[in-house]
């Protein structure tokens, strides 16, 4: 068995387990938008691929120099058929990190129950939430609590409208996501990022924009299909609509549409353990799956905590919420490129 650098991670036997955020189209997106250098490795037994690994190299003046799989995605970028092949590629990643003087490597994939090899450590901070989609949406509705069913029914009476589409919705989906992230105190990407994403992912990507009864943008999401699974990349509700069950309306509309397409799974995306997002997602009776977030740390470096629970970020989050849109929108892409 040997490991080598490759030009593409197109290996049909490993593709689904890499997830969309580890495939060439996604890695090409983040390379084009943020200039990340992409390192692709594969392990072969003769000519048969046994493992694949895609790493983005991030070098940011605030957040440092590191390597990561699945930039801006929940998980992906590592897939393997054998533990020996996996560990061979992890050794290659470690060698690369040492060569470029990176302070850590972040490997994110969907096997949270697996045990990391020596010199690596798991950070059990994130879960993803998987809804098994039946043929009839009413069968799913029966699994929810009576309160949750009631909230969904109330949302359907609020006059919301939802549009699904592609680049024709670019302006509205950007407004929905940029504004909602600002309200949450977080930077967001540029409109050009969403435009390039739609171009590179083509028909596998769908934007969804939610409007209230008066036609005001109330939320939206970016959803990506891979195989028989629909993935929630971003889905946010604006503050003015949160008390009217807009989130319930959005998710239920996505579920019904996915069932109509014959899809089998709705991956609600990652959330931090104990967060408000996790509480909301658990209302949908999903399978809660721990994600493997493995780290290798260079000597003298600590486990990174680049999330909203980090006490160091609380002042910045509060200040960001108060800044005007004309400041945060151009500055956001510079900051978020370091938070891959």
68-96 pLDDT tens trace: 999 999 999 999 999 999 999 999 999 99
Q: Is residue 318 part of a domain?
A: no
d(CA 64, CA 62): 6
**What is the per-residue pLDDT for 316?**
87
* pLDDT band, very low/low/confident/very high, at 159 (cuts 50, 70, 90): very high
Q: What is the mean pLDDT of residues 22-37?
A: 97
**What is the per-residue pLDDT for 207?**
98
Element (H, E) at 272: strand 271-272
Q: In terms of domains, do 171 and 224 share one?
A: yes
Question: Are residues 44 and 4 in contact, defined by beta-carbon separation less than 8 angstroms?
Answer: yes
CATH code of the domain containing 186: 3.40.630.30
* pLDDT band, very low/low/confident/very high, at 125 (cuts 50, 70, 90): confident
Q: In terms of domains, do 114 and 152 share one?
A: no
Q: In terms of domains, do 114 and 141 share one?
A: no
Q: What is the mean pLDDT of residues 8-14?
A: 95
Q: Is residue 322 part of a domain?
A: no
Q: In terms of domains, do 74 and 15 share one?
A: yes
Q: At what angle do helices 191-201 and 24-34 cross, to 10 degrees?
A: 150
Among 111-115, 138-142, 189-193, 255-259, name the one with the lowest average pLDDT.
Answer: 111-115
- Name 210's bridge partners: 162, 219
Q: In terms of domains, do 139 and 114 share one?
A: no
Q: Is residue 336 part of a domain?
A: no
Q: In terms of domains, do 253 and 144 share one?
A: yes
Work out the percent of the chain whose per-residue pLDDT is above 70. Answer: 100
**What is the per-residue pLDDT for 19?**
95
**What is the per-residue pLDDT for 230?**
98
**What is the per-residue pLDDT for 311?**
76
pLDDT digits (tens, 9 = 90+) for 213-244: 999 999 999 999 999 999 999 999 999 999 99
Q: Is residue 39 part of a domain?
A: yes
**What is the per-residue pLDDT for 313?**
81
Q: Is residue 36 part of a domain?
A: yes
Domain ranges, residue 201: 134-263
Total structural domains within the chain? 2
* pLDDT band, very low/low/confident/very high, at 307 (cuts 50, 70, 90): confident
Q: 104-109 and 64-68 as β-strands: parallel, antiparallel, unpaired?
A: parallel
Question: Are residues 125 and 270 in contact, defined by beta-carbon separation less than 8 angstroms?
Answer: no
């Amino acid at each position: 068995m040997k490991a080598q650098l490759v030009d593409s991670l197109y290996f049909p036997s490993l593709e689904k387990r890499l997830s969309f955020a580890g495939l060439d189209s996604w890695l090409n997106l983040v390379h084009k938008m943020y200039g990340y250098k992409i390192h692709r490795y594969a392990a072969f037994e003769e000519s048969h691929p046994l493992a694949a690994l895609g790493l983005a190299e991030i070098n940011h003046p605030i957040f440092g120099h590191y390597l990561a799989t699945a930039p801006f995605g929940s998980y992906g970028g590592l897939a393997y058929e054998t533990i020996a092949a996996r560990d061979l590629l992890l050794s290659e990643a470690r060698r690369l990190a040492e060569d470029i003087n990176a302070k850590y490597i972040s490997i994110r994939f969907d096997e949270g129950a697996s045990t990391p090899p020596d010199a690596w450590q798991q950070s059990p901070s994130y879960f993803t939430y998987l809804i098994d989609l039946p043929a009839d949406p009413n069968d799913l509705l029966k699994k929810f609590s009576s309160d949750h069913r009631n909230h969904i029914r109330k949302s359907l009476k609020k006059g919301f409208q939802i549009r699904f589409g592609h680049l024709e919705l670019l302006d509205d989906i950007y407004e929905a996501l940029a504004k909602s992230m600002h309200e949450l105190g977080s930077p967001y990407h540029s409109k050009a990022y969403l435009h390039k994403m739609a171009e590179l992912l083509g028909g596998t990507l769908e934007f969804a924009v939610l409007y209230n009864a008066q036609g005001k943008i109330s939320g939206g999401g970016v959803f990506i299909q891979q195989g028989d699974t629909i993935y929630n990349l971003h889905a946010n509700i604006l503050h003015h609509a949160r008390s009217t069950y807009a989130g319930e309306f959005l998710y239920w509309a996505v579920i019904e549409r996915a069932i109509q397409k014959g899809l089998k799974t709705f991956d609600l995306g990652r959330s931090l353990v104990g967060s408000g997002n996790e509480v909301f997602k658990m209302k949908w009776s999903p399978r809660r799956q721990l994600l493997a977030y493995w780290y290798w740390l260079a000597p003298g470096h600590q486990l990174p905590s680049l999330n909203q629970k980090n006490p160091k970020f609380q002042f910045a989050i509060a200040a960001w919420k108060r800044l005007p849109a004309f400041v945060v929108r151009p500055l956001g892409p510079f900051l978020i490129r370091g938070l891959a």
